[in-house]
Structure 1
Amino acid sequence: MSVGSARTPGGAALAALLARSADGDAAAFRQFYDLTSAKLFGVIARILPERGEAEDVLQEVYVTVWRKAAEFDPARASPITWTATIARNRAIDRLRARGSRPSAPLAEAAEVADTRPGADTLVSNQQDAARVQSALGLLDPRHADAIRACYFDGLTYETLALRENVPVGTLKSWVRRGLVKMRHALEAAA
């Protein structure tokens, strides 16, 4: 749907078009749209400045007006006030629905700081991880598994001791001895 002219006729003419629309007169509804869409688009665009989004909401508004035309009461409000209220409420609903999504123009994207680590940091982290894995490979497999389970998987000594069917003190010794051997291996490699 395109946005119609900025001129709107009096309330009586619009009310008559709404009444005919309520009876299913598509031509009357099209005329109502042509006479009011510019005004309603302006209401929506003040709330939703992105044109495409405002046009989507405008279309939703006219679907609502078509379905609820029979509910319009000229004693309570003018046709333009009634439809403008629907438009305003739909635009606010859309604004709320998108929540905290950023809505800054694309041109401002270059000014947004990237907080992710740089490529050099990622490479360094990968190298560190490779050295740790290499040092773990030098350990007795049970000791290496205990260190992985405690430090990488977050298992407690108690949980791991039950899983390995050893006393907690034994498991702690495996981890302590394994960490000492790893430290020496890492220092030697540096």
Structure 2
Amino acid sequence: MTDVSSEFDHAAVLAKCANGEHDALHQLYVHEGARILGVVIRIVKDRGMAEDIVHDACLNIWQRADSFDPNKGSARAWIFSVARHLALNAIRYRDREITYDINDPTDVTHDEHFQHAFVVEEAFDWQTGQQMDSCLEELEPERRNCVLHAYVDGLSHGEIAAHTGAPLGTVKAWIKRSLQRLRECMA
């Protein structure tokens, strides 16, 4: 019996995705969707969440297909690593969530001091967010985009370099200096 996945050209499909050919993403989903879903379900142990992650993975694969480097590994491994990383991130975020019962009068969240602290924290977050926006605006656009790609989009320095066309060392220096300027501005 031959392995069906070995007959499918994952690298060619990624190249087509990078060129904006929508049918390529559909081909990839038809061919690998069930296997990707299986891997993600094993990680997150929740089918609904896994389906959302597979959807996000397909979007990431579509948007970042041009960052695939065949010298660093197989296209199939790259595709599955995108889904796996999203699943692992989902677990990390899920484990950080704090749940409370709004009907439980003994829950600490009903305490007046907690409610006041929560309002103060929200105001602080809003002010900090406003200040961060202002500080980001002070950065040169290229450097601001590098910081946002790294800390909002979660791209690696190498991916940012590939995306911007700037040398890797330059991207690293921009991010380091920009973070220093942001720290100074936020102080």
Please report the TM-score for the alignment, with normalisation by the length of structure 2: 0.48
The structure number with the bigger radius of gyration is 1
Larger helix proportion of the pair: 2
